Amino acid sequence: MIIVIRPHATKEQIAEVIAEVEKLGYTPAPIHGAAQTVVAAIGDERTHANLESLSVLPQVESVLRVQKRFKLASRESHPKNTLVDVAGVEVGGAKFCLMAGPCSVENEEQLLSTAEAVKAAGATVLRGGAYKPRTSPYEFQGLGKEGLRLLALAREKTGLKIITEVLSERDVEHVAAVADILQIGARNSQNFQLLIEAAKTGKPILLKRGMSERVEEWLLAAEYILAHGNPNVLLCERGIRTFETYTRNTLDLAAVAIAKKESHLPVIVDPSQGCGRADLVVALCCGAIAMGADGLIIEVHPHPAEAMSDGQQQVDFAGFQKLIETIPPFLRAVNKSV
């Protein structure tokens, strides 16, 4: 780390900083500029104390980090792309992964008809929420275990792999018994206890980026999973909070390229949550592919206007078919295929 000393600090004040740096386990290397002094603290920033605490000293102007905070998730530590095996479906390679299905599992008819439709169109993974995190307690909270039973049934009937969200440490075990991928939602993106519990199952984990999470923080959340022995992490960009009100969120497609550059983990994009409007989904899918995404997770519903949750962002079967017909040239441009 670099400790920037204020101009006009006394020798004693500088010596105090140097002594603290040493006491906290780093080797201090002071550099005296014309206007002010900086002290470089040599040592591993991940394993030593965080020297930002030194900014409480009146003579310290600021403390700057030098090293990256994430390691296992970093491209440096693992230069090749990680391929995640989802019950036989490989994610992160030349095969582009299409996950699709309803926001919430509502009933057998709704889920199975959607599963068949998305399978026919080329999806390999079925999404569907059994446990739903809803902003208001008065909104539909999902079918719970009955939803899981229907997801298992849909897999049996179609062969699609299953991705579904887990909201609670207590549910991890029984959700993992059904799911091929455990989804951690944006609201739980820094619920580290849930991440650790999910990591222990060894199942692939789709980790959504938090609503106002910096890419570094997102990768550090992934680091929690990796550091608990589970290398099967799929990063998922799903839109961030900004001042824009036309869309529910602002899908941050630049973050896809950043995550691919800084990390070796596959990146999935959720355009449905990412904008909250069905009419933008196709365009965002094209953009996501061009930015280097390894897959898409798309909300599809037989009749979105009457969906029990987030109908406004779900495409119907015809809409999904249109999407499937639109993306091939973009996939070819990045040397991928469904």
Q: Is residue 200 within 8 Å of 230, Cβ to Cβ?
A: yes
Q: By CB under 8 A, is residue 76 in contact with a copy of itself?
A: yes
Q: Which residues contact 216 (CB under 8 A, 6 or more apart)?
A: 68, 69, 70
Q: By CB under 8 A, is residue 157 in contact with a copy of itself?
A: no
Q: Is residue 200 within 8 Å of 228, Cβ to Cβ?
A: yes
Query: Smallest distance, Å, CB 222 to a copy of itself?
Result: 10
Q: Which is nearer to a copy of itself, 93 or 287 (CB)?
A: 287
Q: By CB under 8 A, is residue 286 in contact with a copy of itself?
A: yes
Q: Which residues contact 197 (CB under 8 A, 6 or more apart)?
A: 169, 172
Write out the DSSP string of 188-226.
Answer: GTT-HHHHHHHHHT---EEEEPPTT--HHHHHHHHHHHH
Q: Which stretch binds a copy of itself (CB under 8 A): 118-126, 129-137, 143-151, 174-182?
A: 129-137
Encoded one letter per residue, x for contact with a copy of itself by CB under 8 A and - for no contact, window 176-215 reads -----------xx-xxxxx---------------xxx-xx
- C-alpha span between 248 and 118 (Å, rounded): 25
For a copy of itself (CB under 8 A), the number of binding residues is: 111
Q: Which residues, 225 to 284, sit near a copy of itself by CB under 8 A?
A: 227-228, 240-247, 250-255, 257-258, 261, 274-275, 277-280, 283-284
Q: Which stretch binds a copy of itself (CB under 8 A): 90-98, 122-130, 142-150, 221-229?
A: 221-229
Q: Which stretch binds a copy of itself (CB under 8 A): 83-91, 112-120, 151-159, 285-293?
A: 285-293
Q: 40 phi and psi, to 5 degrees?
A: -85, 130
Q: Which residues pair with 125 in a beta bridge?
A: 99, 161
Q: Which is nearer to a copy of itself, 76 or 85 (CB)?
A: 76
Alpha helices, H only, 24-162: 108-121, 145-158
Q: By CB under 8 A, is residue 49 in contact with a copy of itself?
A: yes
- C-alpha span between 161 and 155 (Å, rounded): 6
Q: By CB under 8 A, is residue 144 in contact with a copy of itself?
A: no
Q: By CB under 8 A, is residue 2 in contact with a copy of itself?
A: yes
Write out the H or E segment, with its range, that includes residue 255: helix 253-262
Query: Smallest distance, Å, CB 43 to a copy of itself?
Result: 7
Q: By CB under 8 A, is residue 287 in contact with a copy of itself?
A: yes
Query: Smallest distance, Å, CB 166 to a copy of itself?
Result: 10
Q: Which stretch binds a copy of itself (CB under 8 A): 61-69, 89-97, 120-128, 151-159?
A: 61-69
Among 113, 158, 168, 321, binds a copy of itself (CB under 8 A): 168
Query: Which residue do the tokens 């989802």 mark?
Result: 86
- Which two tokens mark 61? 């102007």
